[in-house]
Each structure stands twice: as C-alpha cells, then as structure tokens.
C-alpha cells in the first residue's frame, strides 16, 4: 500500500515534534517535510506536493490562511489541508474552510483525531477525483450543487456556534447532508441515521448520539442568539428548551432546502 505523504507547518518546535510523533505512530504515513513559516510551508507544498498538510494558522512570514489562498490559485497541487491551531475562533475556521481547508482542529487535541482526519481527507480526495472526472465527461451539475450544499451546512453550523473541533460537528455536518438526500433518515434517527454515521466514522451509534448532543449543547451556550433565533424561531423557547438532535438536524436541513444555499 502506498504511504500517505504528510507535511507539517508550525512555527512552534514542540508542536512540530508532537505532530511528527503522532504521524510516526501510523506506519501508513510518511513525513516528507516540515516548515516553520508561511513562506517555508508554501515552498514545501510546491516542491513535495504532500497528500496532506498539517498547517498552523499563526506563523511568521505569511500565516496559514495566506498559504491556503496562494495554493488555491495553483492548479497542479492536490494537497489536502488540515488546519491545526490554538485559535478557536469560528470566523477564522470559516475563512479557512472557504479557502479550501478540509478540517480545522483546535489545540489541544487527541492523536487519534489527527490520524483519522489525515486518512479521511485522502479518502475524500480519491472520491473527489472520480467526481471531477464524471463532471468533465458528463457535465454533471449535481457535483457543484452538492459542494454548495456542503459549504452552506458548514457555514450554518459555525454560525450557530457549533465548534469545528468537536466530533459532533462532523457528525452533524454529514447528518444534515444525508437528511437532505433522504428524509427517511430524520424519521428514523436511532435505527438509520446514527448507525449509518457510526459505520462511516468507525464509531458506535451511541457515541454519535452523545457527540451530537454535546455539540448542540455547546452551541446553545456559546453561539449567536440572533442566528439561533433566526433559524429556529418559535420552535425553541424557555419552556421547550433546546431542540432534540433530530429537531436540530431537521431545522437546519429545512433551512437549506428552502433555497438558502441558492440565495447566498
């Protein structure tokens, strides 16, 4: 099996050492280079073209967001970017996603999370390459629509205050997308949605349910009251309390289904 080529960019030596040690835990991964600044990170990406780049946001001589912007202008760089930062600002995460980042992880983090997302980003790229081929040959408009929907789901989750570093954020993002594809998922959350997500992420259905619940609770504690009221409106009040997992997923799915993505 071909190894996954990984690059690391962080101006903090201890952080680089930690990320290197995590990557070396998995024999499927190979470190192809390290960088201490934005300039070095960009040079590393262009010269080595790693499969995955672990990229800090705040660095000297060009931050991680600038690196993303410059790489986005290149057509022959297939590298997937995972942001690893001490900044837990949803606006920064949203900016990173808009510039092409696959995932945004806030320090501190578990080693398993880094390893899982490295492999998942490569798998997504392989699937994306197949979709791109189909788009060129058959001019399939659904690919662009799906990408638009996924971007809007990401934007809404960040807007209501769901932290991008939580596992529940990833589960919610996929659950909303699945619900938009088939309403049967939301009508059978316990029997269909949670098990499907569990299979996809390699966890248990119970852990999916708990993680989604935690993400919703967190968003209610730290999210924008105005945005929450705008999306959920009269369905949530002091008497009813926070929405259930299924209500939260259904409301965001309905918000997108009503044309929010097309009008954005």
What is the per-residue pLDDT across 120-146, written as a single tens digit (0 to 9) for each? 888 765 554 433 222 222 223 344 466
Domain boundaries, the chain: 4-136, 141-257
What values do phi and psi take at 85, rounded to 5?
-145, 155
Range 172-197 average pLDDT: 88
**Domain 4-136 sits in CATH 3.40.50.2300:** yes
Cis? peptide before 108, omega within 30° of 0: yes
CA dist 119 and 125 (Å) reads: 10
Q: What is the pLDDT of residue 160?
A: 85
Beta bridge partners of 30: 5
Q: How confident is the model at residue 262 (pLDDT cuts 50, 70, 90)?
A: very low
Residue 33, phi-psi category: left (phi > 0), alpha (psi -120 to 50), beta (remainder): left
For 142, residues 6+ apart whose C-beta sits below 8 A from its C-beta are: none
Give the DSSP letter of residue 191. Answer: I
Domain 141-257, CATH class in plain words: mainly alpha
What values do phi and psi take at 30, rounded to 5?
-140, 125
For 137, residues 6+ apart whose C-beta sits below 8 A from its C-beta are: none
Scanning the structure block, which residue is given the tokens 């799906």? 146
Q: What is the pLDDT of residues 68-85, one digit of tens each?
A: 999 988 777 889 999 888
What is the distance, to the nearest Å, from the Cα of residue 190 to the centroid of all Cα atoms in its chain? 24
Q: Quote the mean pLDDT of the chain.
A: 81
Q: Who wins on pLDDT, 42 or 117?
A: 42
Q: How confident is the model at residue 209 (pLDDT cuts 50, 70, 90)?
A: very high
pTM for the structure as a whole: 0.51
């Amino acid at each position: 099996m071909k190894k996954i080529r990984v690059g690391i960019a962080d101006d903090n030596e201890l952080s680089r050492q930690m990320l290197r040690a995590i990557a070396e835990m998995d024999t499927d991964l190979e470190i192809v280079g390290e960088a201490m600044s934005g300039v070095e990170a960009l040079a590393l990406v262009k010269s080595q073209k790693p499969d995955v780049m672990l990229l800090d946001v705040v660095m000297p001589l060009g931050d991680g967001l600038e690196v993303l912007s410059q790489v986005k202008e290149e057509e022959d760089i297939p590298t997937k970017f995972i942001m690893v930062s001490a900044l837990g600002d949803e606006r920064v995460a949203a900016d990173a996603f808009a510039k092409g980042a696959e995932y945004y992880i806030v320090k501190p983090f578990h080693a398993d999370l880094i390893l899982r997302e490295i492999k998942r980003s490569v798998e997504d790229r392989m699937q994306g390459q197949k979709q791109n081929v189909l788009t060129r040959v058959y001019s399939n408009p659904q690919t662009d629509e799906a990408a638009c929907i996924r971007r809007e789901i990401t934007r809404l989750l960040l807007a209501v205050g769901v932290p991008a570093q939580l596992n529940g954020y990833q589960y919610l993002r996929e659950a909303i997308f699945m619900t938009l594809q088939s309403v049967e998922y939301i009508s059978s959350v316990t029997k269909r949605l949670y098990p499907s997500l569990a299979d996809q992420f390699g966890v248990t259905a119970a852990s999916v349910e708990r993680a989604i619940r935690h993400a919703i609770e967190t968003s209610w504690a730290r999210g924008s009251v105005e945005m929450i009221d705008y999306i959920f409106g009269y369905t949530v009040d002091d008497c009813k309390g926070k929405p259930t997992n299924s209500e939260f997923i259904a409301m965001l799915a309905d918000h997108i289904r009503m044309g929010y993505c097309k009008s954005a």
